[in-house]
Amino acid sequence: MTSFELHPQLAADTETVATWPLCEVLLIKDANYPWLVLVPARDGLRDFDDLSPEDMALATLEITRASKVLKSLFSPDKINVAALGNMVPQLHIHVIARFAHDASWPQPIWGVVPAKPYEASELDARLTVLRDAFEAT
């Protein structure tokens, strides 16, 4: 039993892609980038170093799994990984496929351009391709 609850801001900004041993895997609803957020389903974590050693090992496996699927699906120029959380205090780890032609390149993506809504069909297609790829890994 866990009393883990996703922070309402993360719930509002994302769609659920998968539930992994440690993390809820979410897609941020910003069509500018293939942008995942991994949220360890543990109560009361804020910083990456708050994870227990066992959970940190799981976190790195899941960051790696997410990164490798983004690479295989989208052939990005770079993967950005970050645990920031200055605004949403619940520990969450961004895993973002970046491209030399994307809206914020070469800057980090936060605060550079507004989120670009997905078309409904585009969002469905992206969720399907991600879910299929994660089931295959």
Assess 134 for contact with a second copy (CB under 8 A): no
- Reduced to 3 states (helix: H, G, I; strand: E, B; else coil), residue 16 is strand
List all residues 6 or more positions away from 74 whose beta carbon is below 8 Å from its beta carbon.
Answer: 34, 97
Which own/partner contact pairs does 123-132 have at CB distance under 8 Å and 24+ positions apart?
A: 123/15, 123/29, 123/31, 126/27, 126/34, 127/15, 127/17, 127/27, 129/73, 130/17, 130/18, 130/27, 130/36, 130/69, 130/73, 131/17, 131/18
Which residues are registered as beta bridge partners of 96? 35, 80
Which window, 13-21, 23-31, 78-86, 115-123, contacts a second copy (CB under 8 A)? 78-86
Assess 137 for contact with a second copy (CB under 8 A): no
Assess 6 for contact with a second copy (CB under 8 A): no
For residue 42, the minimal CB distance to a second copy (Å) is: 16
- What phi, psi does 28 have (nearest 5°)? -75, 135
Which window, 14-22, 29-37, 100-108, 124-132, contacts a second copy (CB under 8 A)? 100-108
Which window, 10-18, 29-37, 58-66, 120-128, contacts a second copy (CB under 8 A)? 58-66
Assess 21 for contact with a second copy (CB under 8 A): no
Assess 57 for contact with a second copy (CB under 8 A): yes
Assess 116 for contact with a second copy (CB under 8 A): no
Assess 108 for contact with a second copy (CB under 8 A): yes
- Reduced to 3 states (helix: H, G, I; strand: E, B; else coil), residue 27 is strand
Interface positions with a second copy (CB under 8 A): 46-49, 56-57, 59-60, 63-64, 67-68, 71, 78-87, 98, 105-108, 110-112
